[in-house]
Amino acid sequence: MSNIKFFRTKKQKIYWVLSWFLTAFLMTLDRLSKNFVLDNFKNGSIKIFDGFDITLSFNRGVSFGFLNFSQDRLFYILSIFIAIFIVIFLMYTSIMFKKGESTWFNFFILAGAYSNLLDRFIYGAVIDFVDLYIKSWHWPIFNLADVFIVFGVFGLLGRMFYHDYFRKD
C-alpha cells in the first residue's frame, strides 16, 4: 500500500468535498430544470420574451446539437466515448488536485458532462430546451449542463492563459 496521501491537509480535504457538493448542486439544478421542462413544455415552443423560447428538444449528439446521430449504434458509440472521456477527465482532475492546482472549473465540466450522460442513459437523448434567437437566426438549443461545460472550459482556458502569461521563468 502506498504512503502517498490523497489529502495533504484538512483544507485540501474540505476543498475536495466542497467541489463534489458543487458538482451535486449543479447537477441537481440541471436535473430539476430538465424535469420541469419535460413536465410542462411538451407542446412546442413557449415564448418567454423576444429572443428566448423554451423549446423541448431531444439531442442525440453533443453540446449544442453537434454530431446529432439518428442511428442508435452511432449514438451509443458516442455515449461510450463520452463516458470514457468523463473517467479520463476525472483522473486528470484528481492529478491536478494532488498537485495543489485549482479544480473548480473541472467540476463544472464534470457536473454538466455527468448530467448529460445521465440523460443519454435515461431518455436515449439529452434534454435541451434553451432556445435563443435573433429574428429568424437560432442558436442551437441547449441546456444548463451545456452552460456549465462551456463555463468550465472557458475557465480552464482562462486559467491556462493567465498562468502562461504571468509565469515567472
Residues 6+ apart with CB under 8 A from 55: 41, 44, 45, 46, 129, 131, 141
The cell 476543498 sits on which residue? 15
- From 119, 146, 164, 169, the catalytic residue: 146
Alpha carbon 31 to chain centroid, angstroms: 12
- From 128, 131, 164, 169, the catalytic residue: 128
Quote the Cα angle for 95-100-104, to 5°.
80
Using DSSP's 3-state secondary structure scheme, residue 6 falls into coil
The cell 442525440 sits on which residue? 60
- 8 Å CB contact between 144 and 108: no
The CA-to-CA distance between both ends of the chain, in Å, stands at: 37
128 belongs to the catalytic site: yes
Helix, strand, coil shares, percent, the chain, to 5? 60, 15, 25
Active site residues: 128, 146
